[in-house]
Amino acid sequence: MDTREGMTTEHPENAAAFVANDARLKWHDESLWFVRQKRDRATSVIPEWETLRALGADIKAHTLSRLADYLEEFEQKATALGAHVHFARDAEEHNRIVHGLLARANVTRVVKSKSMLTEQCGLNHYLEAHGIEVIDTDLGERIVQLRHEPPSHIVMPAIHLKKEEIGDLFHDTMGAASGTSDPKVLTEVARGRLRGNLLAAQAGITGVNFAIAETGGVVVCTNEGNADLGTSIPPLHIACMGIEKVIPRAKDLGVFLRLLARSATGQPVTAYSSHFHGPRPGGELHIVIVDHGRSAILGREHYRRTLQCIRCGACMNTCPVYRRSGGHSYGVTVPGPLGAVLAPHIDPKKHRSLPFASTLCGSCSDVCPVQIDLHQQLLLWRGELGHAELIPLRKRAASQLAGWVLARTWAYEFLGRIARWILPKLPKALLRANDWGRQRELPPAPKESFRELYRRRRGQ
Ligand code: SF4
């Protein structure tokens, strides 16, 4: 599902580079935890929050069980409203369709609001290679675009950067005064530039958060209003969506809008929920619906639930591994627990390290607004990759040994006794020589195991 080239997804190696900068690591961890806490506060004031989650999950599961029917209904209704609907098998076909539409209208300048799908398809590079200038209008997306790097988070693409770094970037690229790091001033500088780009654009590309089968309309959620601006001025609007974005009825939208903003940023609602029902007067609306590996996931029962995702990013904000290793360490457009589940479907060998980038604490599943069992799926992937012999021999041997010991009480107790005897005698330097041990203190070894304690007390 990711066309990014030249990136390895050897997560441990990539994460090591991020972890090497202690200050950035701490600040990144704290920033995301701050968003997670905002989410907690926003959800705690909704007494029916868990009911809402269950309802969202049920609607999505139902939609997936009849996906072809709902897509067909959506196509009919959208076409009746005057939109043109296109289906693309994969990223390549998607890019070809979008380029064809732009070329037919002689478009050379296009503005784009945030869309993870077009990131996954590598649309910007494709269009630029065909002589079309693409300007991302979401501020975070624009920042990473100017840095020639991918987003590190699906909702906050530039969360890995400090305001001073953005100040330097805007000084170099947008003429901001040297040393400016006030976010308000920097936003004004970017706003001034983007207004010019929006006015000069000949076409607007957006993603789609929800496509309503009942009405044929699409809904795009932004906090900056850039989807509205990008599609109000130019006559051509191209909306790109994955097949899983469809929802059955207009009244389902309320459930997802309430879940999305609170889970993503802790806001009661996204600042702009833009509804597009057919093209604007005198304009053209094209909706490109992309599969790109999704129907293969739909066919895999245990993994199907990942298609319920509404791309809120909450699983990333809460994940202790994501917070401490940064989004780029995953080497895919969608990082974090969600990306670690999605990426191996495309190339299990290339992305084999990702399901191990998790403590399996289950926090991702706990916060997911549509109840996706992410940590269970990560565990499933580990088993699959192990059976396919795609994980390193050392890790496989260690897992097999652990399995053997844990299945035999006598071996577990015997090794436990040895460990309790030997651990206090080991020099501390030995622990420090190990990556894992460098940041940890071992607690003093207990004199007896829990089983021994239990037996002794029961015997009393
Ligand atoms: S998997 Fe759940 S928590 Fe993660 S982005 Fe999707 S909806 Fe949000």
pLDDT in tens, 60-112: 999 999 999 999 999 999 999 999 999 999 999 999 999 999 999 999 999 99
Report residue 298 as tokens.
Answer: 């739909």
| 290 sits in which H/E element | strand 284-290
Percent of the chain with pLDDT over 70: 98
Distance from C-alpha of 287 to C-alpha of 218, rounded to nearest angstrom: 9
Q: Which residue, judged by its Cα, is nearest atom 7 of ligand 1? A: 309
Mean of pLDDT values over 319-333: 96
Distance from C-alpha of 211 to C-alpha of 197, rounded to nearest angstrom: 27
Distance from C-alpha of 221 to C-alpha of 243, rounded to nearest angstrom: 18
pLDDT of residue 1: 45
Cite the DSSP H helix spans in 147-241: 163-174, 183-200, 226-232
| 192 sits in which H/E element | helix 183-200
pLDDT of residue 430: 81
User: How far apart are the CA of 430 and the centre of ligand 1, in A?
Assistant: 40
Pocket-testing residue among 263, 317, 376, ligand 1, by greatest number of atoms within 8 A of Cβ: 263
Report residue 100 as tokens.
Answer: 């064809």
Mean of pLDDT values over 216-226: 95
| 273 sits in which H/E element | strand 272-276
User: How far apart are the CA of 18 and the centre of ligand 1, in A?
Assistant: 24
Q: Per mean pLDDT, which of 254-258, 383-387, 450-454 is the most reliable?
A: 254-258
Mean of pLDDT values over 375-394: 93
Q: Which residue, judged by its Cα, is nearest atom 3 of ligand 1? A: 368
Distance from C-alpha of 264 to C-alpha of 59, rounded to nearest angstrom: 19
Mean of pLDDT values over 355-381: 97
Longest dimension (CA), the chain: 88
Pocket, ligand 1, Cβ cutoff 6 A:
263, 309-315, 338, 367-370, 372, 374
Mean of pLDDT values over 359-385: 97
Mean of pLDDT values over 176-205: 95
Q: Which residue, judged by its Cα, is nearest atom 2 of ligand 1? A: 368
Pocket-testing residue among 247, 370, 376, ligand 1, by greatest number of atoms within 8 A of Cβ: 370
Distance from C-alpha of 263 to C-alpha of 317, rounded to nearest angstrom: 10
| Gyration radius from the chain CA atoms | 25
pLDDT of residue 240: 98
SS3 for 447? coil
DSSP state of 235: S
Q: Which residue, judged by its Cα, is nearest atom 4 of ligand 1? A: 315
Pocket-testing residue among 155, 315, 332, ligand 1, by greatest number of atoms within 8 A of Cβ: 315
pLDDT of residue 3: 46
**Pairing assessment for the beta strands 217-222 and 210-212 based on DSSP bridges:** antiparallel
Distance from C-alpha of 139 to C-alpha of 155, rounded to nearest angstrom: 11
Distance from C-alpha of 105 to C-alpha of 98, rounded to nearest angstrom: 11
pLDDT of residue 196: 94
pLDDT of residue 408: 96
Assess whether pLDDT exceeds 50 at residue 389.
yes
User: How far apart are the CA of 267 and the centre of ligand 1, in A?
Assistant: 16
CB 229 within 8 A of CB 137: yes
User: How far apart are the CA of 124 and the centre of ligand 1, in A?
Assistant: 25
Pocket-testing residue among 52, 333, 372, ligand 1, by greatest number of atoms within 8 A of Cβ: 372
CB 171 within 8 A of CB 181: no
User: pLDDT tens digits for 266-291?
Assistant: 999 999 999 999 999 999 999 999 99
CA atoms within 13 A on the CB side of 239: 30
Report residue 209 as tokens.
Answer: 């958060």
User: How far apart are the CA of 312 and the centre of ligand 1, in A?
Assistant: 5
User: How far apart are the CA of 76 and the centre of ligand 1, in A?
Assistant: 29
SS3 for 159? coil
User: How far apart are the CA of 368 and the centre of ligand 1, in A?
Assistant: 5
Top pLDDT among 5 and 426 is at 426
Distance from C-alpha of 363 to C-alpha of 368, rounded to nearest angstrom: 9
Ligand 1 atom with the smallest distance to the CA of 154 is 5
